[in-house]
Copies of this chain bind each other. A is one copy, B any other.
Amino acid sequence: MTPASKKVRPIRRGRSDHQQPVSSNVDAPYITRKLPCYNLLEEEHLVRIEQHADRILCEFGIEIRGDTEALKLFKDAGAEVDGERLRFEPGLVKHLVQRSTPAEFTQLARNPKRSVRIGGANTLFAPAYGPPFVRTLDEGRRYGTIEDFANIVKLAYMHSSIHHSGGTVCEPCDIAVNKRHLDMVYTHMRYSDKPFMGSIITPQRARESIQMCRLLFGEEVVEKNCVILGNINVNSPLVYDGVVTSVIRTYAAAGQGIIICPFILGGAMGPVTPAASIAQAHAEAMVGMALTQLVRPGVPVIYGNFLTTMSLRSGAPTFGQPEAMLSYMVVGQLGRRLGVPFRCGGAFTSSKVGDAQAAQESAQSLLPALMAGSNFVLHAAGWLEGGLVAGYEKFIQDADRCAMMVKMFNGLNIDDNAFAIDAYRETEFGEHFLGSTHTMKNYADLHESTTADSKPYEQWLEEGESTEEQRANVIWKQKLKDYQLPKMDRSIDESLLAYMEKTKASRADQWY
């Protein structure tokens, strides 16, 4: 701004003069958040929830069904064991968790630039996990195949804001149930160079997933580092079946990380009031986390959370509702008090398509998770229909939101450049800053969505009145065309393929 009597035109620079600063965090392998976590409850109320979790574990206890080894570990650690029922003195489970669980840890990727730091101020995004179906706008919904699986791995590999290749990005239903984990792990390894997850269906499949990592990373690296993650769900309320605890023990014994995730729809696997479900989930998660530390003290483990609601009309799960948002934020506080890495959130929705409902529920799942300090956001892209479906378009829509979260949680610059005092010197009162030197130097730092259409109405009309879902359809097809296979040492690839062949040959196909 200059005195009104001396009108000065903004300086205009040619295109070649543009300096395009790159957002410092956009290509980072994960977010290191610059924004504080949101503290919803005060200390006093958090203590009440922790005390209630302790009360549940002391008064009612928790069951581990069909795993005498796990029961023995807990008995030796001071729990009261009555058949398959475990009871804990108040404070005991928390102590077992806290005495050796790392506050943060690194999961190695085969490309070291893609290794991720999990816990503390770090956050990463991983694709949806577990859908038996896939959906495209062209074909609608159908069963997933290994080709779909590879496609989603490729899309995750190509998107800079999807930091982790995930696990069962869709079920490859064209491969036998007892063999497909080999193909899934191989696909993550071969078609991406980001970190990934392994099978948790049986201890054998978990072991085989980890064995493939030994071929990829080398035995010594696997012994000393986390190179694969498992994610298990508790059989809420207050039960671990023995397969789950055996899988936990398998990952922990191998020094690999595992996410312990109670799965609670309020009113079904926990009481309908969020405070109770939060306390129950806290109790359940702590027991699973403690088990990992009893198996191998210091092994990485993640405090997982999946608390949501259900529809009174349909009995189906609902997502992004107020109760879930509140729960995320409180569970985040509990996780920080435990001092452990925390998984929550994702692009959840019960919608069948990538419509407004899907976007809204997903936004109200993703943003609160970040505010809550989630370190590991599984299901961050592609989730539709309560997790039954991996949507190709939804993946692209969600990945666009993940990029927004990367930008947002990278924080707000408060420095001399950000205050732009020179821009006022060259811009008139009431005039715009578009041509100012400062704008030209800094405009490339502005975030822009890849899927949104902000063009004028007339242009949008002419271009076919697209919805965002339709634009996402174009984007994923182009991305798959542009995909380039990351390099892999041929001998490693051959050893992986040979291991898979041998393992598959050792057993008959099972289809259920």
Interface residues of A (CB under 8 A from B): 1, 3-4, 35-36, 38-41, 45, 48-49, 52, 55-56, 59-63, 83-85, 141, 235, 237-239, 266-276, 279, 309-314, 316-318, 321-323, 325-326, 330, 350-364, 367-368, 371, 385-386, 388, 397, 401, 404-405, 407-408, 411-415, 417-421, 423-424, 427, 429-434, 436, 438-439, 442-449, 451-457, 459-460, 465, 467-469
Beyond known contacts A312-B448, A321-B448, A359-B359: 4 more, CB 8 A cutoff: A268-B434, A271-B439, A276-B420, A360-B360
Which residues on the B side are within 8 Å of A275 (C-beta)?
Answer: 412-415, 418-420
Instruction: List the number of copies, as a whole number.
Output: 2
Chain B nearest Cβ from A366, distance in angstroms: 9
**Which among A386, A388, A418, A455 has the greatest number of chain B C-beta atoms within 10 A?**
A418
Would A276 and B352 be within 8 Å (CB), given that A321-B447, A414-B48, A432-B269 are in contact?
no
How many angstroms between the C-alpha atoms of A419 and B268 in the bound complex?
15
Contact A427 B237 (CB under 8 A): yes
Which of B363, B446, B447 lies in contact with A267, CB distance below 8 A? Answer: B446
Contact B367 A364 (CB under 8 A): yes
Which residues on the B side are within 8 Å of A235 (C-beta)?
Answer: 430
Which residues on the B side are within 8 Å of A424 (C-beta)?
Answer: 56, 59-60, 237, 271
Would A41 and B351 be within 8 Å (CB), given that A357-B452, A454-B314, A455-B314 are in contact?
no
Which of B56, B350, B414 lies in contact with A453, CB distance below 8 A? Answer: B350
Contact B413 A273 (CB under 8 A): yes
Rank and list the top 4 A-B pairs by shortest CB-CB distance, nearest first: A363-B363, A356-B359, A322-B408, A271-B420
Contact B84 A4 (CB under 8 A): yes
Contact A457 B352 (CB under 8 A): yes
How many angstroms between the C-alpha atoms of A408 and B329 in the bound complex?
11
Contact A276 B314 (CB under 8 A): no
Contact A352 B465 (CB under 8 A): yes
Which of B314, B358, B449 lies in contact with A318, CB distance below 8 A? Answer: B449
**What are 28 A-B contacts defined by CB distance under 8 Å?**
A1-B60, A3-B85, A49-B414, A60-B424, A60-B429, A235-B430, A237-B429, A237-B433, A269-B432, A271-B433, A272-B433, A272-B442, A272-B443, A273-B413, A273-B418, A275-B415, A311-B448, A312-B443, A312-B448, A314-B459, A318-B448, A322-B408, A355-B468, A356-B358, A357-B359, A357-B468, A358-B359, A359-B363
Contact B454 A350 (CB under 8 A): yes
Which residues on the B side are within 8 Å of A273 (C-beta)?
Answer: 413, 417-420, 438, 442, 445
Which residue from chain B places its CB closest to the CB of A239 in the assembled complex? B430
Contact B454 A266 (CB under 8 A): no
Which residue from chain B places its CB closest to the CB of A271 in the assembled complex? B420
Contact A360 B359 (CB under 8 A): yes
How many angstroms between the C-alpha atoms of A261 and B433 in the bound complex?
19
How many angstroms between the C-alpha atoms of A30 and B81 in the bound complex?
52
How many angstroms between the C-alpha atoms of A356 and B453 in the bound complex?
11
Which residues on the B side are within 8 Å of A354 (C-beta)?
Answer: 356
